[in-house]
Amino acid sequence: MTLCLEPASKHGVRETGNGKPATGNVPPMPPTLVTAASIRTATGVVGDALVVDGGRIAALGWADRLRADGLEERRYDGTIIPGLRDAHLHPLGHAATLTTSSLKQATDFVDLADRIAEAARRLPTTAALMALRLDDETLAEQRLPDRHFLDAITGDRPTMLLRYCGHVAVANTAALAVAGITRTTQDPNGGSFDRESDGTPTGVLREEAIGPVADALLPLTPPVGADALIAASYGLASVGLTGVGAMAWTDSGPWSGGDPEVDRIIDAADLLAVDMRVIVVAASPDDLERAAERLESAGERVRFAGVKMFSDGSLGGHTAAMHAGFADDPEQTGTDRLDPAWAYELARASLRLGGLVAIHAIGDRANTNVLDLMERLIAEGADPARLRVEHASVLTEADIARFGRLGITASVQPAFIASETEWLEKRVGPDRLRRTYPFRSLIDAGTPLAGGSDCPVEPPQPLWGMAAARDRCGIVPEEGLTAEEALALFTDDAARAIGDDASLIAGAPASFTVLDIDPVDSSATDLRGASVMDTWLEGMPVAIPAGTVAWNE
C-alpha cells in the first residue's frame, strides 16, 4: 500500500512578495502579457500566453501572436492553470489551526501530555484550553484519552481537545462542570457522552454532545479574529487557491472562540486574499435569510452561496451513519443528526434565496437518507446542480447509480484517503472499502464531482488532493481519476460547485494559478512536491506577506 506522505517542507512558510494586500486600495496593473511554458486546462493546452487588462483576460493564445506595443510582459517558466478552488473548507477552522495548539503529531499519551501542558503554560490562568487535531489513530495507545488524563495535566483549567475530524472531543472534569454536564445529563439528539460504569461522563463527547461544552467554554476562550482570518487567507493563496466554498456558522461554530463565524468573514471581507463563497450553517430559515442578506453586501471577496447541514459524523470517530455496523465495532452503526422535516424546510429556504443545498454525509446510511431528501426536492422542481452531498464517503451500489441519475454533485475530499490509509479498511471492511471514496464509479455513473479539503480536517493543499485523487495512496486504485479529471476536480468542477467559473477565456476574470510543473504531464508523486509560483486574483498577483504560514500540522 502506498503511503501518501506530503513533503514536510510544504507545511512551513512561504515567503514571497512585498506584503501588499491582495485587495483594497491597490492601483490596477497596466495591460500585461503573461507568458509561461504552457497554459493548461482540464481539456488540454490552450496556449502559452494571456493578456490581462482591467482584472480580466483580454486575450488568450500564443505569445508570438499576442505581443504588442504598450503591453508590459511577465514571464513564468512554469504552467498556468485555472485558479485552484476548494469546494469545502472551513476558513475559521483554518485560521484556528494557525493560532491554536495542534495535537496531530503527538505519538503517545506521554507526548500528548507534554504538548497539552506546554499549550496551557502559554495561556492566561483564567483562560480555557482548546486544542485541535487530536488523532487517536496515530497514538501508540490507539484510543482517546479521558477526563482523568486531562485532569492530571490541566487540573481546574477547563480543557477540551477536538479530534481532527471535528466530530469527537475530549473534555476534562472542569470543562464538564462549567457546562453543567453530570451523571444525570441526558444525551442530546444526534450526539452522546461516553460514560463510566456508573453513568458519569468519561469526558469523550460525540457529535451534538460537543456543543454544550464548547458553548460553555466560549467566554473563557480567546477568539479567532478577523486579522487571523485575513492572515490565513494569504496562506490559502500561497498554495494556489483563488476561491473557496467557505463553511461558516451563524453562531460560534467549533473553532471561532465565541464569535459568530459569519460575522468574522464579513469583518474581514475587504482584505481577504481569496474569494469566499459562504455556505452557511444556520439554525432556521430566518437565520439563513439574515446571513444571506448580510453576506451579499459584505464586499467584493464574499458572497452567499447556500446552506450547510449535517446528516452524520465521521468514520474516524465511529459516528458515520452506516447501514451495518463498523467492521471493527459491529454493534456501532453511527449517529443520525438530520431531522428530515427541519432539513427540508431549510433546504427550501436556501433554494428560494438562490443558494445551494450542501449536506454532510459520510456513511452509506447517511448518504441514502440525504439522497432521499434531495430526490424529493428535485421532484418539486429543484435544480440538481444546486444540490451537493458533502463527502459521499461510503456508498451503496444503488446510491452510486442514483447520484448519476439525479445529477447531484458529490463534493469529495481525496485527502481523506491520505490520512486514513492505516485504518480505513479496518473501519469499513474489505467489501465496503470498494465503495469508499468511489470517484471512478461516480464519474462513470454521470455524477458531477467537486474537489475540496475540508480543512482543517486535512491540509488546504489542492495539489495534494489532486495527487490522492489519481493514485489513491494505493487504496482501491481502480477508483482513481485521470490526470485531466483530477485537475478539473480542483478547478472547473470545484468552481462550478461554489457558483464560480474557472474558465480561461477572453472576458473571464483573470484569476489563475502558476505552477512549476505541468499537473497533467507530471506524476502524482511530483504533484505532492510541486510549488506554486504565483496566484493571480482578478488581474493582480497576490503578494504573499513574508512569514505567511500555509498550514500547521
pLDDT number for residue 22? 44
Report DSSP state, residue 36. Answer: E
User: pLDDT band for position 256 (50/70/90)?
Assistant: low
pLDDT at 21 over 60: no
pLDDT at 9 over 50: no
Domains, the chain, with CATH or none: 85-91+224-542 (3.20.20.140), 101-220 (3.10.310.70)
Q: How far apart are CA 34 and CA 14, in angstroms?
A: 23
pLDDT tens readout for residues 489-516: 999 999 999 999 999 999 999 999 999 9
pLDDT at 250 over 50: yes
User: pLDDT band for position 100 (50/70/90)?
Assistant: confident
pLDDT at 362 over 70: yes
Q: Cell numbers of 387, please?
A: 444540490
Average pLDDT over residues 372-385: 98
Other C-beta atoms closer than 10 Å to the C-beta of 445 total: 17
Task: State pTM to two decimals.
Answer: 0.93
pLDDT number for residue 107? 97
pLDDT number for residue 252? 79
- Dump the DSSP string for 179-224: HT--TTPPPPTTEEEEE-TTS-EEEEEEETTHHHHHHHHGGGS---
pLDDT number for residue 15? 38
User: pLDDT band for position 524 (50/70/90)?
Assistant: very high
Give percent above pLDDT 70 in the chain.
94
User: pLDDT band for position 29 (50/70/90)?
Assistant: confident
Average pLDDT over residues 145-152: 98
Q: How far apart are CA 325 and CA 132, in angstroms?
A: 28
Task: Return all residues near 406 (Cβ < 8 A) that are at least 6 apart.
Answer: 371, 374, 375, 378, 384, 387
User: pLDDT band for position 258 (50/70/90)?
Assistant: low
pLDDT at 13 over 50: no
pLDDT at 106 over 70: yes
Give percent above pLDDT 90 in the chain.
89
- Cβ atoms of 504 and 82 within 8 Å: the answer is yes
Classified as helix, coil or strand, 451 is: strand
- Cβ atoms of 485 and 495 within 8 Å: the answer is no
- Cβ atoms of 56 and 95 within 8 Å: the answer is no
Burial class (CB in 10 A: 0-12, 13-18, 19+), 420: buried
Average pLDDT for the chain? 93
pLDDT at 6 over 60: no
pLDDT tens readout for residues 64-80: 999 999 899 999 999 99
